[in-house]
Amino acid sequence: WPRSGGIRGGAAMDLFGDLRRMNKRQLYYQVLNFAMIVSSALMIWKGLIVVTGSESPIVVVLSGSMEPAFHRGDLLFLTNFHDDPIRAGEIVVFKVEGRDIPIVHRVIKVHEKGNGNIKFLTKGDNNEVDDRGLYKEGQNWLEKKDVVGRARGFLPYVGMVTIIMNDYPKFKYALLAVMGAYVLLKRES
């Protein structure tokens, strides 16, 4: 009689049985196949960085501070061409010293000096006050060097998978394990 949890245990035994039944050549082939998938994804990411000029060409909106323009979980596509001037009304993604996660907010004021130096102020559409409280201490304006990218398009709610994986790390590791096992055990017909 199977005990409680017997189904999960059986699935794990099948996984290890499949691995044992593979000869070394099949196992090496599957590992190389997995490595090709990972390296292809990295090459695509690096290619997007070069094409868009942004160190992070795709980001997920993590909060509701930009509603109704963007909602939590929306996937944003960014560009960051340095010769494009920053204008009021534009949505930028910026990093502030001391914070790990970039922020997606709208530019509300721009100060342009004669020498081409630009400083600007941001605010979330759904926030009551500007972002000066988010900037590093003593900083009242952002500069172009703080910008990671500018929003050029989005896909609604596609990034919810990322939010779920960040909120529930065990789910992330389980999903990665299942995907890795699938790639390793998938046999060519």
Q: Which residue has the tokens 């096992």?
A: 181
Within a domain: 4:
no
pLDDT of residue 188: 57
Annotated catalytic residues are: 65, 105, 131
pLDDT tens for the chain, residues 1 to 189: 444 444 455 555 565 666 566 677 877 887 888 899 999 999 999 999 999 999 999 999 999 999 999 999 999 999 999 888 899 999 999 999 888 889 999 999 999 887 878 999 999 999 999 999 999 988 999 999 999 999 999 999 999 988 988 888 898 888 888 887 887 777 655
Q: Which domain holds residue 31?
A: 11-52
- Rounded to whole angstroms, the Cα distance separating 129 from 145 reads 23
In a shared domain, residues 67 and 144: yes
In a shared domain, residues 126 and 148: yes
In a shared domain, residues 85 and 138: yes
Q: Are 106 and 91 in contact (CB under 8 A)?
A: yes
pTM of the model: 0.73
